[in-house]
Structure 1
Amino acid sequence: MPDLPALRPLYLLALRVFRRLPAPVRRALVRAGTPGFTVGAVCLLERDGRLLMLRQPHRNGWSLPGGLLDRGESAADAVVREVREELGLTIEVGRPVTVVVDS
């Protein structure tokens, strides 16, 4: 395991160099070093034992209401927004059932 206090001067030097780089280069370095992924949320809308499914023009078959999260948006807020956009309904989100990470 590396000696972390001994690496501190190197770390501080790297920060000083990074800060002097042009902003577009800094952004490119940060983007290259961070994961890129897409996050979405779907929901089950049930009432009186019946499940609501959507048939959308851009997909084959049936789907659940939902969509992609905006930056900084929670899954619950995204579901509320998507259901309002897709169906014109105002819903209250219950507890999440599952989270799936597909890499």
Structure 2
Amino acid sequence: MNPYGLDFEKGNGLIPCVVQDEKDGAVLMVAWMNEEALSKTLETKKATFWSRSRNALWTKGETSGHFQLVKEIRKDCDGDTLLLTVESIGPACHTGNRTCFYRTLDED
């Protein structure tokens, strides 16, 4: 177990991370973190995740300029999920939408 009491082993080294807007509480996105991504996030105060498709770290906004400045990090009761409260600079979604959750299940 790491000094933050997080259980990265339960998810094979990754834990889900919910990202929430500090102003209105909107859920902006969900991504994955490993211990290295968490360390970089804590160091830079910019949301940094583990990309499963690229198999590499990525800081949100490094190509788009739409950074997420971390205001608070919370862990859930089991220590296997994180909640980041952020100041979002621009949209969170790669589609240009403010949040990745802009569609309902019955939309196509």
Is the TM value for this pair above 0.5?
no
Question: Which structure has the bigger radius of gyration?
Answer: 1
Please indicate the TM-score interval, normalised by the length of the shorter structure: 0.3 to 0.5
Q: Which has the higher contact order (CA 8 A, sep 6+)?
A: 2
Higher strand fraction: Structure 1 or Structure 2? 2
- TM superposition score normalised by structure 1: 0.34
